Amino acid sequence: MLALISRKLYRKYVSLLSSPVKSRKRRVWSTVENSRFWEDEVPKFSDKKFKTRFGLTDKRIAIALYAFGSSAEYRTIGSLFGVGRTTTGELVIEICNAVVDVVQHEVFDAYPPTSEKISEIVGGFEKLGFPQCYDAIDGCHIEVKVPKNEATDYYNFKGWHSVILFAAVDHRYRFTYINVGVPGRSNDSTIFENSKLKKVHCTNETFKAHSKLIEGVVVPMLLIGDSAFRLSNQVMKPFLFSVDQPEHEKLFNYHLSACRRVVENAFGHLKARFRRIGKGLEVDRNNVNTIIKTCCILHNLCNNHNDHINKKWMIQIQTLNSKQQPQRGLIVRNENASASRIRNALMVHFG
C-alpha cells in the first residue's frame, strides 16, 4: 500500500505534511512508469538517508496506513510504533487530510463525465451484460460511535448506529461518486434524490449526447440500483419479484443484478482492505467522514494499480463485524411511464 501511494504522489504528499494542508495549491506532476527507484533503491535507505531525501521518516505514513488496515485500537497501534494513543489519532487525520487534498480529483474522475470516460465505463458494463450503464449505486452502513444527543438520528433499522456511505461504482469496482456521512436512519433512495449525482445525470449534456436507440426506444445513460430506488429515466431497477414472474422479467432482473453486484463487491473490498471501516469507527464523529473518504480514495488507487484483494481478507472481514446491513427489502413502488418504456425496451433486448 505504501509503495502504491508513494509512486503516484509521494513527493507532493510529504511536502504537504511539512506545511499546513490548506495553504498548498495543487500542482501537476509526472512519473516515469518504468522507474524502479521506490521498489529497488528506497528499501536500502537508512533512516537518516530516507529523512534527508524525503523530508521526514515514513513512520507517520506507516502508522496511518496500519490504522486503516487494522481493527486494533489506537492505543495498541501507538504502542507498536512507540507513540501515544492521542498522537496516533492525530497522525491518522493528518494523513487523511493530505490524501483528500492531494488526490481526490485524481481518482474520482468520472464526474463531470467526458466522452472518453463514458465510452470506457459503458463499454465495461456492456461486457458484464448491461447496455447504457454508467454506474451501479447503493448505500453501505458503517458503524460509528455517536453522542447520546445524536443517537436517534444514527440509529438504523437493524438496531445499531451508523453513517451511510452512498456510492456510485464503475465496472472495475472503483468509486466514481461518494456521499459520506448521512445518518443511518436515512435511506438510499432519499439520499440519491437529493444528491448532486442525480442532478448531473438529469442535466449533463455529455450524458444526453450518448443516448442510444434500443428496440425503438431512446435509452439514456443509466444508473442501476436495487428495489430501494425509484424507477426513473436515470435509474433502472429490477421488476418486483412474484412467484409466477414471467421469464423475460426474470432475465432482465438477472442481467441487472449481475452488473449491480459491482457496487456490493466494492463495499466488500473496501471493508476487507481497510478493516477499520469493516469493524466500525470508534473515533470522534467529526473525523468519521474524512477517514471513510480517505479509504475510498486509497481503494481506487489500489484498483488503478491492479493491486488485487487477498481472498483471505474477504473471509476474515466476515467475522469481524456480523451486523446486518439495513434497508434490504425496502421497496419504492412509485414509477413513471417513460422509465417503464425504457425498462421494457431493455427487457426485449435481453430476450
- Give tens-digit pLDDT for 271-283: 999 999 988 998 9
Residues 173, 95: one domain?
no
Greater confidence (20 vs 149) lies with 149
Highest mean pLDDT among 7-11, 105-109, 258-262: 258-262
Q: Does the pLDDT of residue 242 top 50, yes or no?
A: yes
Measured CA distances, 102 to 191, 273, 291 (Å): 27, 21, 15
Residues 141, 162: one domain?
yes
pLDDT tens figures, 131-146: 999 999 999 999 999 8
Mean pLDDT for all residues in the chain: 85
Q: Does the pLDDT of residue 31 top 50, yes or no?
A: no
pLDDT recorded at residue 327: 58
**What's 238's DSSP letter?**
P
Structural domain boundaries, residue 46:
2-107
| Band of pLDDT at residue 296, cut at 50, 70 and 90 | very high
| Band of pLDDT at residue 330, cut at 50, 70 and 90 | low
Residues 162, 183: one domain?
yes
Q: Does the pLDDT of residue 285 top 80, yes or no?
A: yes
Mean pLDDT of 102-122: 91
Residues 211, 243: one domain?
yes
Residues 218, 200: one domain?
yes
| Band of pLDDT at residue 345, cut at 50, 70 and 90 | very high
**Please, what is the angle between helix 2-17 and helix 59-69, to 10°?**
130
**Please, what is the angle between helix 59-69 and helix 74-81, to 10°?**
150
Residues 95, 23: one domain?
yes
DSSP assignment of 256-309 equals HHHHHHHHHHHHHHHHHH-HHHHH-B-S-HHHHHHHHHHHHHHHHHHHHTT-PP
- Is the four-CA dihedral 85, 90, 56, 38 of positive or negative sign? positive
Cell of 322: 456480523
State the DSSP H helix or E strand holding residue 177, giving kind and residue range, or none if neither.
strand 175-183
Residues 274, 304: one domain?
yes
Q: Where are the alpha helices (DSSP H) in 187-246?
A: 188-193, 196-203, 205-209
The rounded distance, in Å, linking the Cα atoms of 73 and 69 is 12
pLDDT recorded at residue 26: 37
| Band of pLDDT at residue 312, cut at 50, 70 and 90 | confident
Cell of 246: 414471467
In one-letter notation, the amino acid at residue 146 is V
Residues 183, 91: one domain?
no
Number of domains in the chain: 2
Residues 252, 327: one domain?
yes
Q: Which of 86, 107, 128 is the last residue of a domain?
A: 107
The rounded distance, in Å, linking the Cα atoms of 325 and 184 is 10
Q: Which of 82, 107, 132 is the last residue of a domain?
A: 107
Mean pLDDT of 139-164: 92
Residues 338, 288: one domain?
yes
Q: Which of 72, 107, 142 is the last residue of a domain?
A: 107
Residues 119, 94: one domain?
no
Q: Does the pLDDT of residue 256 top 80, yes or no?
A: yes
Which residues have C-beta within 8 Å of that of residue 347, sequence separation ≥ 6? 239, 248, 249, 251, 252
pLDDT recorded at residue 321: 65
pLDDT tens figures, 39-71: 677 677 776 666 565 555 577 888 888 899 888
pLDDT recorded at residue 19: 41
Contact present, 78 and 84 (Cβ < 8 Å): yes
Residues 100, 119: one domain?
no
